[in-house]
Structure 1
Amino acid sequence: MKKAKDKVELRYYDIKQEHFLIALQNRNWQNKYQTEADSLHFHNLLEIGVCMQGHGTMRLEDKVVSYEAGMVTVIPANFPHNTIPRGDAGNTWSYLFVDPEKVLAAFYPDDILLQQKLLEHINRQTFLGKETEVPNLKNVITCILNEMNHTPEFYRECVRGLSLSLLLMIARLNSKKDIGQEMLRQKNGFDQIRPALEYIRDKYATPMKIAEIASVCHMSESHFRRLFEENLGMTPVEYLNQVRIKKACDLIRKTGYSMEEIAVKVGFSTTSTFNRNFKRIIGTSPYHWKKSPENFETRLADFNILVEKGW
């Protein structure tokens, strides 16, 4: 009997314009984040985690590794993974979600080659190791979490500099060939469609055809469609519409744009198409969603869009 395909879901995070990252250290959402063994998820951002309490296993694509309190993880964007806690002692993580491209473009605006080189190293592989093995990296993570938690004077400027230090340390870590920690290279079918996910992330607001997206992965359209659906459990069009609707949710929350303006800004050619996809994905119309604050956080949590508080 053929093994059932793992569930894979996108968990999309939108960073505020004036920030380079999101810091999450609220225990109330921990249980929502951790998933069942047969359910993988991936993010549109680089994920950096520190296990503060507990132990369990982490699945990184098709490999399962153990973690315990004091361990640090670095997981590139669009890399399938999950976290399975064990025992009854509680399981608490702190996370940073970082946009490396935004950080590097801000610091090296005229050096595209350096940006590309650093991004290649940053996204090369996942990392799981004890904090004692990467003490400088752990210190920078802790400093960022403290700055974002307490927001002292000039905290944005401080985090700005720390964000670059964080990425440079990760790039240097991934360039080492003899380190003993658990590191996994991105590979297999999911890795083959990863350029398409990045392309959609950057170009979601523009009209695009599936053949155009397939060409980014150097595949025929038919082969790309098959591989995409095998790895994500949805068609490329369904994925593109999910990204667009998630961006629309953020615009509804943060701006005063009309629904007609939002539809255009996220890539839908007509308002009726936008409304139809919004209702299919979220479960209600954008107008009702906007007018129902009591359902706001629940809708977002169900759809894996983080409601940022206090950052």
Structure 2
Amino acid sequence: MPRKKKPVIEYRHYSLPISFPVLLLSGERWRISDIKSEHLHFHNHLEIGICHSDSGIMEIKGETIPFKAGDVTFLPRYLPHTTYSSPNTASLWSYLFFSPEDLFQHSFKSAYSSFEPNLWRMQGKNCILNKEQYPKVYSLATSVVEELKQQKPYYQESAYGLLLSLYIELIRIHSTNEMLAEQEAEHSLKSDFVISPALEYITTNYMTPITIDFLADLCHLSTTHFRRKFHEIMGSAPLDFLNSTRIEEACKQLKSSDYSILSISEQVGFHSISSFNRGFSKLMGASPKEWRKGAKSEAQSAKASILEFTGWV
């Protein structure tokens, strides 16, 4: 009997603007094909999507869930999924990407240790919220999109307030459903996206010393199996992904601060300036000094071209 083919999972990296770290993708470019992709994909930021037209299917955590115009989707980072429209249609979407811990770090009380839901407890059906049942979510999400599109005076302040209200509403909805899925958490940890704990840890602790053995333990895998699984999913070794995360954070500081290159390299977790310079030049094609001098556009950031706008139509 032939072995079941394993799903291919793509990592889609989105670089956020530094001045206001929210990325809006909207317009005719963001129509979803009716052809089902053979690949699942996941993002490095929280994704909120708004379906403006037509209908289709989302596949999340092994669940097949229908969507229609007016639905709002809420997908934590590192949650593999795919979307395709109903036959002979191409549903139109707007997408918001942001990292709650960066955007809202001064708005929440210090008691909040985690800004995103535990995706192991999050059932796929709770990722799609329909307009009829959750009119407040739809109204807030569409209002954020309009503010970012129109860019009237004080639009960032308005978008921030709306997005904070939207995020709180989503967390409230998630919290009411969390207990229902708690018994499934252990099973999901074993069967779903097994390297997610390592990705989450790198995202929030990239500036600290991190070993492969430690990351493997987080995922309940042997070091050898972890290396193989990580490379299979991410297309790179764990330490390469860690270093690219550090370098992207360094890019933000090089562009937005006057800290010395040595100071920045230490802040993002490199223990020698030589290893930082070498890794930076390899990834960015220029030395940190050269890159800082030429960093003029908001769009420029580490790995900005990696699967950034692929696989949609």
* TM-score (norm. length: structure 2): 0.72
Q: What's the CA shift for 1:198?
A: 1.6
Q: Is the 8 A contact 2:10 2:39 kept in 1?
A: yes
Q: Does 1:67 pair with 2:67?
A: yes
Q: Is the 8 A contact 1:11 1:41 kept in 2?
A: no
Q: Equivalent of 2:245, from 237, 243, 246?
A: 243
- In structure 2, what residue type is equivalent to 1:148? L
Q: Equivalent of 2:306, from 300, 303, 307?
A: 303
Q: Is the 8 A contact 1:13 1:45 kept in 2?
A: no
- Counterpart of 2:97 in structure 1 is 97
Q: What's the CA shift for 1:78?
A: 1.3
- Counterpart of 1:24 in structure 2 is 24
- In structure 1, what residue type is equivalent to 2:9? K
Secondary structure of 1:42's aligned partner: strand
CA distance in 2, matches of 1:154, 1:122: 34
Q: 1:212 to 1:26 in 2, by over 3 A?
A: same
- In structure 2, what residue type is equivalent to 1:195? P
CA distance in 2, matches of 1:22, 1:49: 13
In structure 2, stretches of 5+ residues that fail to align are: 179-183
- In structure 2, what residue type is equivalent to 1:106? H
Q: 1:116 to 1:67 in 2, by over 3 A?
A: same
- Counterpart of 1:144 in structure 2 is 144
- Counterpart of 1:43 in structure 2 is 43
CA distance in 1, matches of 2:68, 2:158: 30
Q: 1:214 to 1:92 in 2, by over 3 A?
A: same
- In structure 1, what residue type is equivalent to 2:305? D
Q: What's the CA shift for 1:201?
A: 0.8
In structure 1, stretches of 5+ residues that fail to align are: 179-183, 307-311
Q: Is the 8 A contact 1:11 1:304 kept in 2?
A: yes
Q: What's the CA shift for 1:156?
A: 3.5
Q: 1:267 to 1:285 in 2, by over 3 A?
A: same
Range 8-17 or range 257-266, more displaced = 257-266
- Counterpart of 2:181 in structure 1 is none
Secondary structure of 1:133's aligned partner: coil
CA distance in 2, matches of 1:91, 1:53: 5
Q: What's the CA shift for 1:75?
A: 0.5
- Counterpart of 1:195 in structure 2 is 197
Q: 1:33 to 1:254 in 2, by over 3 A?
A: farther
Deviations along 1:78-107, whole A, 9 cap, x unmatched?
Answer: 111233345665442112223233455423
- Counterpart of 1:107 in structure 2 is 107
CA distance in 1, matches of 2:34, 2:279: 28
- Counterpart of 1:181 in structure 2 is none
Q: 1:150 to 1:268 in 2, by over 3 A?
A: same
CA distance in 2, matches of 1:246, 1:29: 27
Q: 1:193 to 1:10 in 2, by over 3 A?
A: same
Secondary structure of 1:106's aligned partner: coil
Q: What's the CA shift for 1:142?
A: 1.6
- Counterpart of 2:77 in structure 1 is 77
Q: 1:237 to 1:248 in 2, by over 3 A?
A: same
Q: 1:301 to 1:101 in 2, by over 3 A?
A: closer
Q: What's the CA shift for 1:265?
A: 4.4
Q: Is the 8 A contact 2:15 2:304 kept in 1?
A: no
* TM-score (norm. length: structure 1): 0.72
Deviations along 1:243-279, whole A, 9 cap, x unmatched?
Answer: 2343344455556677666544443344554455456
Q: Does 1:14 pair with 2:16?
A: yes
Q: What's the CA shift for 1:136?
A: 0.9
Superposition CA RMSD, Å? 4.2
- Counterpart of 2:165 in structure 1 is 165
Q: 1:267 to 1:60 in 2, by over 3 A?
A: same
CA distance in 2, matches of 1:103, 1:202: 14
Q: What's the CA shift for 1:60?
A: 1.9
CA distance in 1, matches of 2:105, 2:161: 13
Q: 1:8 to 1:28 in 2, by over 3 A?
A: same
Q: 1:298 to 1:246 in 2, by over 3 A?
A: closer
Secondary structure of 1:196's aligned partner: helix
Q: What's the CA shift for 1:122?
A: 8.4
- Counterpart of 1:204 in structure 2 is 206
Q: What's the CA shift for 1:130?
A: 2.5
CA distance in 1, matches of 2:173, 2:276: 43
Q: What's the CA shift for 1:297?
A: 6.8
CA distance in 1, matches of 2:306, 2:170: 30
Range 266-275 or range 88-97, more displaced = 266-275
Q: Is the 8 A contact 2:33 2:84 kept in 1?
A: no
Secondary structure of 2:30's aligned partner: helix
